Structure 1
Amino acid sequence: MEGMDGATATIDSVKDTIVYMIDLIPTTGSELITNHKWATEEELTAK
């Protein structure tokens, strides 16, 4: 992501599970964001 070059992070925990990359349109009406987040099965719901 823009502005993150050289940033550091600490991994707090790890989970052995299936993850998905998602595309989304923000509720603010902004443009489509592709491959935004790794979502776990628990975070997804059917519409």
Structure 2
Amino acid sequence: MIKRLQKNPDITLRELAEALKEETGVSVQLSSIHRALRRANYSYKKRPHRR
């Protein structure tokens, strides 16, 4: 999950959850992903969409 976030810093929690389910077959709540990212010292603030 961290590697995917490093490759694509603008990925959403939902996209991370979907990728995790595809790769492992495990379904994870968005709040669980958020907590895991916070424990790994990642702040998760979405950047404004750039045009």
TM-score normalised according to structure 2 size = 0.22
Q: Which has the larger radius of gyration?
A: 1
Q: Which has the higher strand share?
A: 1
Q: Which has the higher helix share?
A: 2
TM-score normalised according to structure 1 size = 0.22
